[in-house]
Each structure stands twice: as C-alpha cells, then as structure tokens.
Amino acid sequence: MLRDIISNDFFTIMLVVGMILIATAKLTSPKRFNDFISVLGNSKYLKIYSRDQKFFDKFDALLFANLIISVSLFCFISYKFFTKTNTISPDTMFKISFGISVFILIKVFIERLIGSLFEMDAIIDQYLFQKISYKNYLGLVLIPINALLLFSFKPTLTFFYVTVILLFIVILIGLVTSFKAHQSLIKHNFFYFILYLCALEIAPCIILYKVIISK
C-alpha cells in the first residue's frame, strides 16, 4: 500500500527537480550520458572525457546539482526515520544542501590548490574528474532509492544499512580506480599519499560525522 505522500510534498518536488536535472543532462549530451551510465564497470568515460575538461562543465554541473539534491533528500529521509520526526522545514533542507555543497567544493578547492603548489595540475585535474564522476553517479543511484523510500514502503533499518553499504561500494570503486590509474606516482610518493588520504579523505568525513552526531 502506498504511503501517504501529503506530508512529503516538498521532498517530492526535490525528487522531481533531480530527475529533471538528469533528463536535461541526457538530452544535452546523450552519448556522454550513456558512457557515464557504465562508468562503474568501464573506464571508457573517464579516459575520454577527462581530456576535455573545462573549468565549468555543464554536464557535470547538472549531475552535481542532482547529487546535492539526492544526498540531501536521503539525509532528511534518514533523519525522519531515526528521529521519528514528521515535519522538516524547507529552510533546514536548504541549509543542509548548502552545507553539503560547500563541503565538497572546499575539498575540491584545497586539492586544486595543492596541485598548483606541487605543480601537478594535470594529474590533480584528472583525479578530481574521476572523483566527481563517481560522486555524481551516487546521485544517480540515490534517485530510485529516494523514490522507494518516499512512495513505496516504510523504511527499515536494514534497508538503510544496505543502502549505505551500496553507496560505500560505489565510492570505494571510484577510489580504487583513481589509485590504480596513478599507482606509479603513488608508489614513488607513498608518504605523501598517506598524508593526503588522512588529511583530505578520512579527516573531513570524521569531522562531518562528529558534527552530525553532536547535533
């Protein structure tokens, strides 16, 4: 039986906006979108489109916007489930979405800055493209998951665990792919690689987790 969606009107709008963004990306770049869909099992997309990067890429921007919406939506559905809260204001949704955007963009800015300082701009650009591609893929994966949680059935703890594991696997595949592509560089700079991993990958996640828990 379908759940009552009257209280989910705002979430429904956000879900539709996300789907519109995805549809726009597909309509504007159909071939690239088809290549992007298979990015998990095929590195063709990364090899082809990393060479044609721009400072502002409309395709990536559309997918990134959907990522922010989808992640925010999933966070709020999770928040409603774990806190048993029935009402969440759009203002709070906006703040969380803004926070997630700023968090990701600051990380990208710092990584680009490091690339410039060590004169590794080309490598960092390629690495960031790979990372953002897999993150954007998360946004795609979350659309049907959010739709199921909103309209199909009542969420369960098991479902959330499975979803988080699935998202973690996507992120892990992205990291492994990126590290494999630069394994020669990593071997010769292993100490700096570990330093980077701790400072810019693990530490921000721990800080974010602490902030969320403290709330």
Task: Check the CA dihedral 88-89-90-93 and report its sign.
Answer: negative
144 part of a folded domain: yes
Per-residue pLDDT of the chain (215 residues; tens, 9 = 90+): 344 443 567 788 889 999 999 999 999 999 999 989 988 877 778 878 776 666 668 899 999 999 999 998 888 888 888 877 766 666 777 777 888 888 888 888 888 787 777 777 777 777 788 888 888 999 999 999 999 888 877 778 888 888 889 888 888 887 777 777 667 766 766 676 677 667 666 776 677 666 655 55
Return the amino acid letter for 24. Answer: T
Q: 3-state class of 5 per DSSP?
A: coil
Cα 57 to Cα 42: distance, rounded to the nearest angstrom: 21
Q: Is 119 left (phi over 0), alpha (psi -120 to 50) or beta?
A: left
- What is the count of structural domains for the chain? 1
Cα 53 to Cα 60: distance, rounded to the nearest angstrom: 10
190 part of a folded domain: no
**Residue 51 CB coordination number (10 Å):** 9
92 part of a folded domain: yes
Q: Which domain holds residue 81?
A: 6-181
Query: Residue 114 in contact with residue 195, Cβ under 8 Å?
Result: no
Query: Burial level of 19, CB count in 10 A (0-12/13-18/19+)?
Result: middle
Q: What's the distance, CA 201 to chain centroid? A: 14
- In the structure encoding, which two tokens stand for residue 19, read together? 């789907």
- Single pTM value for the model: 0.81
pLDDT tens-digit series, residues 52-79: 666 668 899 999 999 999 998 888 888 8
Provide φ and ψ at 80, rounded to 5°: -60, -40
177 part of a folded domain: yes
Which alpha helices (DSSP H) does the chain contain, by range? 9-28, 30-37, 44-49, 58-83, 90-117, 121-147, 157-181, 183-188, 190-196, 203-214
187 part of a folded domain: no
99 part of a folded domain: yes
Task: Check the CA dihedral 204-210-213-215 and report its sign.
Answer: negative
Supply the Cα-derived Rg of the chain in whole angstroms: 18
